[in-house]
Homo-oligomer: A and B are copies of this chain.
Amino acid sequence: MNTTEITAASEELFSGKILHMFHDEVILPDGGRAMREIVRHPGGVCVAALDDKNNLFFVRQFRYPYREEVLELPAGKLEKGMTPLENGKRELLEETGAEGYSYISLGQVYPSPGYTDEIIHLYACRVSSVGESRPDFDEFLNVEKLSLDKAVEMVLNNQLPDAKTQIAVLKTKLLLDSGKI
């Protein structure tokens, strides 16, 4: 079955610093019409950084939409003029002070494909040296380390809700166990 939807009309409702929201009318595969509420986002990056004892670097920060602290792998929005990998190296350094090496891609994530076009690029790396973290002016976070096995256990026990973190932790574990990292 053909499933393609074609844009009939597009209205930009909000053009923010990060998000751009659109209300589009689409032509459905059967010729009918429907409205789509969508968010455009610059994209993100997330890094699973392992030290030589297979501990992962995490950041714990307040996530305003949920009004709670969430424990996540270091991550951030893509900045223009840098590749996703360069953004990953930058975010890891800014948020944790860690410098990574031997970066490998863990693929891409579509966080919620019904309404956002965000793509999150995932990487794993090893960590060589750790200095001071330098978060953005409006970013307050605590750096924590957890063993990879403890992180896997927490994902399976529903203690790490963040999507990119769950995926990067489980992929790192499966790829490490099969000798691919």
Tell me if B140 and A18 are in contact (CB < 8 A).
no
Query: In the complex, are the beta carbons of A30 and B112 less than 8 A apart?
Result: no
CB–CB B66/A3 < 8 A = no
Once the chains are docked, how many angstroms separate the CA of A17 from the CA of B32? 18
A70/B110 contact (C-beta < 8 A), A64-B24, A156-B171 known: yes
Copies assembled: 2
Known contacts: A138-B32, A162-B110. The answer to whether A62 contacts B115 by CB under 8 A is no
Given A1-B142, A156-B174, A109 contacting B62 (CB threshold 8 A): no
Inter-subunit contact A118/B112 (CB<8 Å): yes
User: Is A117 an interface position by the 8 A CB rule?
Assistant: yes
Interface contact A3-B110, CB-CB below 8 Å: no
Of B40, B110, B114, B170, the residue contacting A174 (CB under 8 A) is B170
Residues 64-110 (chain A) with a chain B CB within 8 angstroms: 64-66, 69-70, 72, 77, 105-110
Q: Does A36 contact B (CB under 8 A)?
A: yes
Which of B5, B60, B111 is within 8 Å of A111, CB to CB? B111
Q: Are A21's CB and B18's CB within 8 A?
A: no
Asked whether any CB of chain B lies closer than 8 Å to the CB of A13, the reply is: yes
Q: Which A residues form the contact surface with B (CB < 8 A)?
A: 1-5, 13-14, 16-19, 21, 23-24, 26, 28-30, 32, 34-41, 44, 60-66, 69-70, 72, 77, 105-120, 137-138, 140-142, 152, 155-158, 161-164, 166-167, 170-171, 174-175
19 contacts between A and B (CB under 8 A): A1-B140, A1-B141, A5-B64, A13-B21, A16-B37, A17-B35, A28-B138, A34-B137, A40-B65, A41-B112, A41-B115, A44-B114, A65-B115, A111-B112, A112-B163, A120-B163, A155-B171, A156-B174, A167-B170
